Structure 1
């Protein structure tokens, strides 16, 4: 009787341990995208809640998060990047009305081109541009015909791309 119980116990252990899949970690699934896609699809279709399914779902989420675009909490920077803001502006500031005109080497360029470093400025032009960007920070500086302050926001964003 003891032998029969031992044999049944060993057979039960072999059957139980041999029928289960090896549990893969989230990191393993992230390193093996092909297997991740297969397991994720099977789990999503069947609705299983096994450890492998949970790890595959978590790995899929982390992969999506790793490749997600960085959120912006200000104005839509993609539209601003395409804007051509480097031109002449009639403005009002602490010292009254004035006109600021960007250097000719910047006129017609987009902010994205400035981000990519596609410009050259003399030391004098850099100094004038830095002074202009500092004046923009003042709440007293207003741009003529800038309803909603969208031009000022675009110029603020453009000034940040120069990284003075």
Structure 2
């Protein structure tokens, strides 16, 4: 078997309950009424990209579309604005998932930055076509924050898979 650079440990299979719970928690965190500043990161987009990269067979474009519709309804945005954005994110994340996992976390963050930027540009473009106002150039800060959160999300969301399958006194995990 070919090991990835850095000799990463083999991970246990992801628990489907944990996967879907993390997506729902990200959705709920996006729904917290903090006001909608253009620079705030989209945590649901981060979770969708993460799970599309790590579990492309379980999280696909359909799930991204449904979560996008939920965000559209919550934010009273044009129906399909977030859905198209998240679907595009899911597609590109699945497209690059094999290549992306060979890199260390910092390089992964740099490679997902354009995905997040495309997502925000799609949302702003749809908003402008629908007659909305331009949110200002600070909307370009959000993809940078999301890419900066990528290593933290990787550590948190992969933590349950790193435990030993049968812990005992001889293994520290």
* Fold shared by both chains (TM-score > 0.5): no
Structure (1 or 2) with the greater helix fraction: 2
More strand by share: 1
